[in-house]
Structure 1
Amino acid sequence: MPENAPLLELRNIGKRFGAVHALRGIDLQIISGEVLALLGDNGAGKSTLVKIIAGAHAPSSGEMFLAGSKVSLFDPRHAHDLGIETIYQDLAVAENLDVASNIFLGRERKSRMLGFLPILARREMRREAASALEHLAIELPLRQVVGELSGGQRQAVAIARAAYWQARLVIMDEPTAAIGVGEHEAILKLIQNLARSGVAVILVTHTMPDVWQVATRIVVLTRGEKALEGKTEELTEERVVRAMLVGRESDA
């Protein structure tokens, strides 16, 4: 893939649910190492667009390309195979398992005892999990049960899992919504570390200060259409909020 070529490109994406147009004519690009803030009021179409990118919905019209190749199969497992990971607010962590086991959840490493009995390769998974945490400067006890961790620490586990499995694009849904004030900055720093490692990040949030702290670019959806797009440094919160409420500036 040529340098600065978009990792993800959406062309004229539309989505209908019966007579309802959830999305109309969405064009979007994101490059590796970029944090794109996807903003909009409730019902703006953010969730529908994210589900299309994550493979949960197929678009009714338009095309999606990843690393220059057209995506024709919309399925969460296929999206995962392509390197697209989604971290929802519920995080999908197993609270009864420890940190290392959660990083390998559903993809456990196994070895053979006595040459034929399959057993979990716990030592290998802990070693690999420690490397994944260190790569993102995350400090967590590997044998700690996830159910005993704070909201911010659980977010860190989910981020480390995505990074370990070589995600090229990570979608984060309100990552700072359910965590304490003290952990807020730590999660934002993790998002920045993820981007610095070359991963593209789509950040869905209602927390405006987070946008200006970590996002490189902003896209605003209103009533299923793209109302505003620009570099974070070139936009003001007033313009963004106006676009969320009113729509495109030409319409206003």
Structure 2
Amino acid sequence: MNAIEPIAPSEPPVKGTAPAGTPLLEMRDIVKRYGSFTALDGMDFHVGKAEVVALLGDNGAGKSTLVKMMSGINPPTSGQILANGKAVQFRCRADSEAAGVETIYQDIALVDAMSITRNIFLGREIVKPGGFLDHRAMEEKTIEILGSAVQISGIDDPEKEVGFLSGGQKQAVAIARAVHFKRNILLLDEPTSALSVRETEHLLAYLRELRGQGTSSVLVTHNIYHAFQVCDRFVVMSHGQKVFEAAKADTSIDEVTYHVIRT
């Protein structure tokens, strides 16, 4: 049986959509060079309030470079970054965290040999007078976190080692950590690649729930069907540039697939 070809759009592709209101985070005319190689070339990108944005494109499109830049890991060669309408510089993770950005990587960046409590408060530990760790306060707060914003099924012990959790449970712990520390933008880099079907559905449900609570997300994924389940807007990249952008109401899976494949 021959493969079904994606349907080409009947009109020229929309290259960009103007932000509605002041974005939580905006990247303007971003360029990133590594010697003679240009990884990002005049890239514009924004995230609005209570919005889930899909960042799509083939391998080498520049998605990971853009995510690292929004995470504060990789400063731009040129261009402007704005948080809530004000120009900022992302030179390190602390800068992006101060702007309310939390990144959840494909490998989740949790420490398997440490408990859920220690992972949630890693680098942000609650201390007693004198500098000693307040283990009881952190454990009590973890119990509250696990049962509130992002409920994590199958976890009833905050002292359980993260290495014994499933992939979906680990993702949920990372999201719960971000929500607890009041991040208003979650960057998720291929979060469903190692998850089961059920865990993937739970993760997408988390993103919908968080959007309803005012938290925005950027979903980097190769699975366009997953993106269409939860995302409000789609941005397609190729060779470091934005080649297509449209709101969900103005496009279709066939059209988005067409632009991802043709790049």
Cα deviation, 1:79-114, whole Å, max 9, x if unaligned, reads 1222211110111111112212211111111225xx
| CA RMSD after TM alignment | 1.6
- TM-score, normalised with respect to structure 1: 0.90
Instruction: Choose which of 213, 231, 234 in structure 1 pairs with 2:247.
Output: 231
Which residue in 2 is equivalent to 1:42? 59
Unaligned runs of 5+ in 2: 1-19
Assess if the C-alpha contact under 8 Å between 2:26 and 2:46 holds in 1.
yes
SS in 1 for 2:23: coil
Assess if the C-alpha contact under 8 Å between 1:172 and 1:201 holds in 2.
yes
Assess if the C-alpha contact under 8 Å between 2:150 and 2:172 holds in 1.
no
Aligned ranges 1:84-233 → 2 under 5 Å:
84-112=101-129, 116=130, 118-133=131-146, 134-139=148-153, 140-141=155-156, 142-233=158-249
Per the TM alignment, residue 73 of structure 1 is displaced from its structure 2 partner at its CA by: 4.0
Structure 1 residue runs of 4 or more that deviate by more than 3 Å after TM superposition? none
How many residues end up aligned between the 2 structures? 241
1:63 equivalenced with 2:80 (yes/no): yes
- TM-score, normalised with respect to structure 2: 0.87
Higher relative contact order (CA 8 A, sep 6+): 2
Q: Give the whole-Å Cα distance in 1 for the aligned partners of 2:40 and 2:242.
A: 9
Q: Give the whole-Å Cα distance in 2 for the aligned partners of 1:60 and 1:161.
A: 31
SS in 2 for 1:111: coil
Letter in 2 for 1:102: N
Q: Give the whole-Å Cα distance in 2 for the aligned partners of 1:214 and 1:194.
A: 11
Q: Give the whole-Å Cα distance in 1 for the aligned partners of 2:176 and 2:50.
A: 16
Assess if the C-alpha contact under 8 Å between 2:225 and 2:253 holds in 1.
no
Assess if the C-alpha contact under 8 Å between 1:99 and 1:145 holds in 2.
yes
Instruction: Choose which of 75, 93, 97 in structure 2 pairs with 1:76.
Output: 93
SS in 1 for 2:163: helix
Cα deviation, 1:184-223, whole Å, max 9, x if unaligned, reads 2111111112222211211000112211111011000011
Letter in 2 for 1:175: P
* Greater shift in the superposed pair: 211-220 or 228-237: 228-237
Cα deviation, 1:112-138, whole Å, max 9, x if unaligned, reads 5xxx5x432222112222222212233
1:15 equivalenced with 2:32 (yes/no): yes
Q: Give the whole-Å Cα distance in 2 for the aligned partners of 1:108 and 1:137.
A: 22
SS in 2 for 1:128: helix
SS in 1 for 2:27: strand
Letter in 2 for 1:126: E
1:30 equivalenced with 2:47 (yes/no): yes
Q: Give the whole-Å Cα distance in 2 for the aligned partners of 1:4 and 1:128.
A: 35
Assess if the C-alpha contact under 8 Å between 2:82 and 2:88 holds in 1.
yes
Q: Give the whole-Å Cα distance in 1 for the aligned partners of 2:40 and 2:239.
A: 8
